[in-house]
Structure 1
Amino acid sequence: MNIKDWLSISMGDILTQKIWQHVHCHYDLVNRNIKNKKKYLSDAFTEEWNLMPSSNELACFIREVDVLIHTLNVLDHRIQSLEKK
């Protein structure tokens, strides 16, 4: 005996049908919402993966940052030497 049959015996056929339709409608709504969230999450990961820089781009960026840090250190040293004078 399934849930629908048990409800039908205790509440009547019409009320059981309405409850079952309500439950089924909400189940479909939740199920559709979960599917949409999964698709959204999958699309977001795919887009983020496409936006991620390649290893060559990352290495170039690191070299540029290192050059910038070196340049700033040289500039800071020059400023400090000028302040001492």
Structure 2
Amino acid sequence: MLTVRYFAGARAAAGGTSSEEIDAATLDGLIQVLTDRHGERLAVVLKAASFLVDGLTCHDRSAALADGVTVDILPPFAGG
């Protein structure tokens, strides 16, 4: 299990959920679980989002996620 934390537009697209526990082995797997759970609105956000795994940017969506990590989902922010 891992903890997923949603920020800004990702939180809104997940129905206001700020965090939840998910069972996923990779970011690709996590994205699929989250899309199945929260729908197309979140899927659109996830396509453009950045992912932090225990505070470090992760670009490899097929990389293994260790049990107990925290994944932060950061949608693009305006003005930065």
Q: Answer whether TM exceeds 0.5 for this pair.
A: no
Instruction: Pick the structure with greater CA Rg.
Output: 1
- RCO comparison, higher one (Cα < 8 Å, 6+): 2
Higher helix share: 1
TM-score, structure 1 as length reference: 0.17
Higher strand share: 2
